[in-house]
Amino acid sequence: GKYVISFELNGSKVEVDVEPDTPLLWVVRDTLGLTGTKFGCGMGLCGACTVHLNGQPIRSCSMPISAISEQSITTIEGIGSDSALHPVQQAWIEESVPQCGYCQSGQIMSATALLQQNPTPSLQEIKYFMAGNICRCGTYPKIQKAILKAAA
Ligand code: FES
């Protein structure tokens, strides 16, 4: 049967009526129409689908909607504002990080979570924290440089 669940998405309360085992990724993309969060592997292995759950990075492809009732979700659409990019987004532009771009919203969501926890990470700490976000284009050096820039 269907299942009504409410949660906070990018600062606004939303209600959806979906099967309880529906992955959060598909609720965000298909039910709510926010397509910045990407489907990569669907198995929690690549990080393309990264969003924040109460400020912590999670893999939305592997998170059933039933698990986030009354919790707070932030997607790539929710980290900046119309008038001001998030400092991580600004650094991403300045360092021309993306190549194909597909993994980059997940990369940025992990990077913003890292800087919330650790505002001045070392290169080693960045590499360790970001290790779960895969980039097939190999933009890792630019990602690391942009995070260091955003932290400075
Ligand atoms: Fe979720 Fe790859 S699509 S981790």
Alpha carbon of 82 to ligand 1 centroid (Å):
28
Strand stretches in 60-132, DSSP E = 72-74
Same domain, 70 and 98: no
Task: Tell me which of 51, 78, 105 is where a domain ends.
Answer: 78
Residue 112 and residue 104 in contact, taking contact as beta carbons nearer than 8 Å:
no
Same domain, 58 and 118: no
Q: What digits encode the pLDDT tens for the residues 31-75? A: 999 999 999 999 999 999 999 999 999 999 999 999 999 999 999
Structural domain range at position 147: 87-151
Strand stretches in the chain, DSSP E = 3-9, 12-18, 50-53, 56-59, 72-74
User: Which residue's CA is minimally distant from atom 4 of ligand 1?
Assistant: 44
Does the beta carbon of 80 sit less than 6 angstroms from any atom of ligand 1?
A: no
Alpha carbon of 53 to ligand 1 centroid (Å):
15
Q: What's the predicted TM-score (pTM) here? A: 0.96
- Please name every residue paired with 73 in a beta bridge, in sequence order, or none if there are none: 9, 53
Q: What digits encode the pLDDT tens for the residues 94-114? A: 999 999 999 999 999 999 999
With cut-offs at 50, 70 and 90, classify the pLDDT of residue 82.
confident
